[in-house]
Amino acid sequence: MKIGIAGLRHETVTFWPGFTDLDEFERVAFHGEQVIEARRGTNTAIGGFIDVCEKAGVELFPVCEVPGGATATVRDRVYDFYVSEMKREFAKVANELDGILLALHGAMVTESLQDAETHIIREIRQVIGYEKPIMVTLDLHGNLDPLILKEATAVFGYQSSPHVDMGETGRRAARTLLATLSGEIKPTTAIVKPGLVVPSVFSATTVSPAKDIIARLREWEQYPGVVDASVFFGFAWSDVHQLGMSAVAVTDDDPELAERVANDLAQLAWENRRALTRGENLYSVKEGVELAIKKAKKASKPIIILDHADRTGDTTFVLRELLAQGAQNAAAPCFVDPKAVEVCKKAGVGSGVELEIGGSTGWRDGGPLRVSGKVLWVGEGRYICSGPMWKGLEIDLGPTAIIKADGVWIQLITFKHSLINEDPFTKFGYKASDFDIIVTKSKTHFRAVYEKVGEEIIIVDAPGQCPADLSVFNYKNVPPGVYPITRK
């Protein structure tokens, strides 16, 4: 038995001015046999595919694995480059292939395509036809067009945000593919879109109501005839026709049951639409920082400030406020500024530096911030992720510098990354517990570690690129009636 494997993922912020081009994808891409070497044993969807298939003695045919980030609209040439590669390579072995496993995202938008994923699968179908199964993993934050299920045999979403189950999602897809090929099951699917979109900060599956929706999904998975279920919370900052949540069910030759499961999950989401889109206890930057400083005085563990609206990794709203309010022993890890890193490198460890950092895009970023401090560390920020999310994956922050500016420890990096675990401290000789206040720009992924490591999480809704308040954006492609979007 021979199974084809490919991955291409991007979470597109269509409001972000400009485009994401091929060099940003190729920097992190793997091709051919490299895919297996890079992903075997990692907590990623492709790592899960490899795990199940190798244990079953299945031969793998890997084409590419391209884990793009969350940035501006993708250039058409990026789509053309990777989709041509997939079609060309799969065509070479089309007769030998029994099926295909794809690791996609669900919120990739190109210059020409609002729903890149459906098109990717449709193009691969041109090569291998509609008889052979194609199973697809997608991110919990995908905006699915129901047409995707005309092209894919079934789709499988991460069921956790933090995405600590990427490997398991790959295993679910691969197990279902093998069961389909052996004739053990005949997958039937249903998708229901409840008509709402959830700002990612409210999609944390460790917090209600997202937690309750996943609990209901788990109950359905135990129901006889149900093979798999997913709830996609959508990606709010993509102005696309298919914006919003989707509930998907996969059953064994039972379309009515699939409809029932998907309808029930979509209904539960709709009933919770207010809490899923507004949340509670969102602070302004000023209030949030004030509260963090006050609470840090009595806390036994660090107070976590969640600056969820930052997508560029270099917005300065929170850092500016920490310095203005004289915060002590605070940490701002993973702050993107390649130029500032170079200045620190030239100055050397122990030197004083005057820097203008952040605010590089000029788009809802708070503008550059002047800081003066002392260089504590310079070098290459490259390490193997300790997990749980992305466990085993190589993380490359690029050239990195750490400075202390008044009471704030600032880690300047070259390639965007969010604080999701303790690695950005421990790999550089520090611990999270060294600090009284820690700023993270992760949305939900940090919770896998910081719900335990932190004393309390204070969510600030800074006026960054992806705030919880969606009314500041002018949506043009989203059809009327998707809660809470208001058409202007």
Binding footprint of Zn ion on the chain (CB under 5 A): 139, 141
At its nearest, how many Å lie between Zn ion and the CB of residue 336? 19
Q: Contact, 64 vs 78, CB < 8 A?
A: no
Query: From the CB of 320, what's the least distance to Zn ion, in Å?
Result: 28
Largest CA distance in the chain: 69
Nearer Cβ to Zn ion (60/70): 70
Least Cβ distance, residue 406 to Zn ion (angstroms): 35
115 versus 139: smaller Cβ distance to Zn ion: 139
Q: Which residues of 51-65 are buried (b: 16+ CB within 10 A; e: fewer)?
A: bbbeeeebebbbbbb
Distance of closest approach, residue 328 Cβ to Zn ion, in angstroms: 34
The secondary structure of 114-132, three-state, reads: CCHHHHHHHHHHHHHCCCC
Minimum distance from residue 381 beta carbon to Zn ion (Å): 23
> Phi and psi dihedrals of 342, rounded to 5?
-60, -40
If the CB atoms of residues 245 and 353 are measured against Zn ion, the closer one turns out to be 245
Alpha-carbon distance values, 87 to 6, 13, 123, 472 (Å): 11, 27, 7, 40
The residues, any chain, with a CB within 8 Å of residue 421's CB and separated by 6 or more, are 385, 386, 387, 388, 389, 446, 448, 449
**Residue 219 CB, nearest distance to Zn ion (Å)?**
23
Q: What is the DSSP letter of 479?
A: P
Residue nearer to Zn ion on the CB measure, 66 or 437: 66
Which tokens sit at 14? 């269509």
- Pick 306 or 322: Cβ nearer Zn ion: 306
**Nearer of residues 47 and 366 to Zn ion, judged by Cβ:** 47
Contact 193, 244 (CB under 8 A): yes
Q: Look up residue 446 and give its two tokens.
A: 């940090």
Q: Which two tokens stand for residue 404?
A: 């202390």
Would you say 63 or 213 has its CB closer to Zn ion? Answer: 213
CB closer to Zn ion, 61 vs 233:
233
Q: Which is nearer to Zn ion, 139 or 307 (CB)?
A: 139
Token pair of 84 as six digits: 């041509």
Amino acid at 434: D
Where do the DSSP E strands lie in 212-358?
Answer: 226-232, 246-252, 282-283, 303-307, 330-336, 352-357
Beta partners for 398? 381
Tell me, rounded to whole angstroms, the distance of Cα 421 from its chain centroid. 14
Q: Which is nearer to Zn ion, 139 or 264 (CB)?
A: 139
Write down the least CB distance from residue 140 to Zn ion, Å.
5
Smallest distance from Zn ion to CB 122, Å: 23
User: Which tokens hold the place of 313?
Assistant: 């990794």
Can you tell me whether residue 386 is helix, strand or coil?
A: coil
Q: How far is the CB of 449 from Zn ion (least distance, A)?
A: 17
Task: State in angstroms the smallest separation of the CB of 344 from Zn ion.
Answer: 32
Q: How far is CA 463 from CA 229, 251, 365, 367, 412, in A?
A: 35, 43, 8, 12, 22
